[in-house]
Copies of this chain bind each other. A is one copy, B any other.
Amino acid sequence: MMKKALQTQFLSAEGAAKLVRQIGLPQVMQGIAANIHQDFLHWRAFDKSARVAAHSQDGVIELMPIADDRTFSFKYVNGHPKNNMLHGLPTVMAFGVLADVATGMPLLISELTLTTAIRTAATSVVAARALARQNSRSMALIGNGAQSEFQALAFHHLLGIEEIHLYDTDVEATAKLMRNLQANPDARDLRVSAYASTREAVRGVDIITTVTADKTNAAVLTADMIEPGMHINGVGGDCPGKTEIPPEVLRKARVFVEFEPQTRIEGDLQHMPADFAVTELWQVLAGKLPGRTSDTQVTMFDSVGFALEDFSALRFLQSAATAQGLTQALDLIPRLTDPKNLYQLIQPHQSTNHPTRKSAATVLA
């Protein structure tokens, strides 16, 4: 009998936050970015599909599965823009699972609400390393909600961005982002300024990151704001009817995507004709197709979030959280002395149903 994991591990919301506090956000972002880069280089090894989405009046719930020949993963994630206002809940909540392809055993259930923000920013940096001008130093950050700190700090720590221009329709959100960045002892070299409009914020920057949340077809950027050589990191347009960047801007740029069939449906790309040319990022990373080819070219990463990035993030969490002793055993799958005898679990007068059970673990809640 081969030795296989017989126990599902759990990484709680607090466990993941503790992991980040213990080893440092820059280190976590770098670790996840490295996994994303590595997994994108093995693109063809993955069984990929567009995510499964259940749309409703106020939002969407999605399942994002992916697998290679050893590991299966999926993420559960919602997007409900009115959650803050109506329910005091985050717009985006998520959790994920890693499982063993050989047995189907779920190996890890992990929070991914915090982690989604981190992996999205890490993906943005992996793309910008290949697509933004060398020596990019300034970035506009349009949309200052839950994900904005992670974008700012990823570009600062991992790409060398020194100056960030902020704009949000909600001035409270911008004030919160300013406070958080200024209080961060690791980001003392980062200069941050708030602007009165997107137009003013984006003027002269090397990179524009848009990360807005409304479930509408918005036009956060217009073509006249785009200067030669800019890289646009478009993060917030990520489902049908939810876009940020209008066709006139896409037409000015070379557009790069994660997984083309998904981005055609969900990205800012959804408003473009089916023959509008795009390049999958993995092909640039693998050296198969060029990324940016001149310093005056406009590049755009139409990022919608792809299952492989969560796979990469879950791999990182599994390894790092286990090393830090932050995972806990979860009694999700029954352990059976005879696997054909599932009935033993409920047999009357059976005193113990978990013969190999050793100890109780505490899950904080």
Contact = CB atoms under 8 A, between A and B. Distances in A.
Interface stretch (A92-100, A223-231, A239-247): A92-100
Given A79-B104, A103-B87, A183-B347, A147 B342 contact: yes
A17 interface: yes
Given A87-B1, A147-B342, A185-B348, A76 B97 contact: yes
A56 B96 CA distance: 20
A212 interface: no
A188 interface: no
B89 A6 contact: yes
A303 interface: no
Contact of A340 (B52, B84, B104, B363): B84
A354 B117 CA distance: 18
B7 A365 contact: yes
Nearest to A60: B104
Nearest to A116: B342
B101 A347 contact: no
A105 B93 contact: yes
Interface stretch (A30-38, A66-74, A123-131, A132-140): A66-74
Interface string A175-218: 01000100111000000000000000000000000000000000
Contact of A102 (B4, B58, B333): B58
A14 B97 CA distance: 20
Contacts of A109: 109, 332
B21 A340 contact: no
B104 A343 contact: no
Interface stretch (A248-256, A311-319, A323-331): A323-331
**Chain A interface helix/strand/loop/mixed:** mixed
A83 interface: yes
Given A49-B52, A54-B72, A348-B21, A333 B95 contact: yes
Given A89-B6, A362-B363, A104 B59 contact: yes
Given A342-B90, A362-B360, A332 B111 contact: yes
A28 to B, nearest CB: 9
Given A111-B332, A185-B348, A339 B97 contact: no
Top-6 shortest CB links A-B:
A78-B104, A329-B365, A149-B343, A13-B334, A146-B342, A12-B331
